[in-house]
């Protein structure tokens, strides 16, 4: 490690429980990449200053998590095709012309989902309509999902995602108003919690598991804690569950490749991630 390593990091809030830094720095060390990853708690109002600071300090890339994935777009110079289509950015890459916005969330989710089931032909209920939900919906549709429902308290935000999926892909997508406890559609194969509900102190995800379709796969995008109350309830009801660890691990590996050109060892990253979460 030199005295002036390349800088990368993450902007989110709350950031105290974000274990990304552990797996990213483990990958840098394992591959001899002269870089550091800095986890930063950045309030919504301070995001423009954070991006300007990264620019001034010569950062080569940064991640954006809740609640910045959509707001960061206007602070960047260019969007990659995936980010343009999804309408959200979770990864910024320093290019010759400035910051290029990428979206690796959906790709990371698909890599994790394929452990349990292939996305093609699936019928999926997505809870939430933020940046992660948009990425997951678009990538599922592009991967051949048959039908999607996007549920959100603000129906207009859910409708934006549905309109995007219906216009740009061959999948069918429907917006659902989520103002009270939902039930899982009888024809659903997969449920994805793409909200921040499930983080400590954030409240319970208002979805009933009293009656669920046979073979249902229930996913949460929250990596820490990995076994959320939402997943515990789903398992008790007989569903197979998938936590947010795999999504975080896969998108982190893709981010490193975008920033450095190195395809990192996911086993090394996974061990460091597990240790950070356990700690």
CA distances from 48 to 8, 42, 53, 87, 237 (A): 17, 10, 9, 18, 44
**Is 69 a residue of the active site?**
yes
Burial class (CB in 10 A: 0-12, 13-18, 19+), 217: buried
For 8-62, the pLDDT digits (tens) are 999 999 999 889 999 999 999 999 999 999 999 999 999 999 999 999 999 999 9
Inform me whether the pLDDT recorded for 147 exceeds 90. yes
Distance CA 2, CA 14 (A): 31
Q: Which residue among the candidates 69, 94, 123, 245 is catalytic per the annotation?
A: 69
Which segments of 110-231 are extended strands (E)? 123-127, 147-152, 172-177, 182-183, 190-193, 207-208, 217-220
How many percent of the chain have pLDDT more than 70?
A: 100
Higher pLDDT, 154 or 198: 154
Q: Around 66, how many Cα atoms within 13 Å sit in the side-chain half-sphere?
A: 19
Model pTM? 0.88
For 89-132, the pLDDT digits (tens) are 999 999 999 999 999 999 999 999 999 999 999 999 999 998 88
For 50-91, the pLDDT digits (tens) are 999 999 999 999 999 889 998 999 999 999 988 998 988 999
């Amino acid at each position: 490690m030199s005295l002036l390593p390349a800088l990368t990091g993450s902007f989110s809030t709350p950031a105290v429980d974000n274990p990304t830094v552990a797996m990213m720095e483990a990958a840098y060390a394992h591959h001899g990449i002269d870089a550091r990853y800095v986890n930063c708690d950045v309030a919504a109002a301070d995001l423009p200053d954070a991006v300007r600071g990264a620019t001034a300090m010569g950062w080569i890339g940064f991640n954006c998590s809740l609640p910045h994935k959509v707001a960061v777009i206007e602070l960047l110079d260019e969007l990659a095709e995936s980010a343009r289509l999804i309408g959200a950015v979770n990864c910024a890459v320093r290019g010759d012309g400035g910051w290029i916005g990428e979206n690796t969330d959906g790709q990371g989710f698909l890599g994790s989902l394929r452990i349990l089931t292939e996305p093609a032909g699936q019928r999926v209920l997505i809870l939430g309509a933020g940046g992660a939900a948009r990425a997951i919906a678009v990538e599922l549709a592009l991967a051949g999902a048959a039908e999607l429902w996007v549920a959100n308290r603000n129906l207009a935000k859910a409708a934006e995602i549905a309109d995007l999926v219906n216009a740009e892909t061959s999948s069918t997508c429907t917006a659902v108003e989520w103002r009270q406890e939902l039930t899982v559609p009888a024809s659903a194969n997969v449920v994805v919690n793409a909200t921040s509900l499930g983080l400590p102190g954030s409240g319970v995800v208002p979805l009933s598991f009293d009656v669920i379709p046979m073979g249902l796969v229930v996913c949460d995008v929250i990596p820490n804690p990995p076994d959320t109350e939402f997943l515990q309830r789903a398992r008790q009801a007989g569903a197979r569950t998938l936590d947010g660890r795999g999504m975080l691990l896969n998108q982190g590996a893709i981010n490193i490749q975008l920033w450095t050109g190195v395809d990192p060892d996911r086993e090394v990253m996974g061990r460091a991630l597990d240790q950070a979460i356990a700690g």
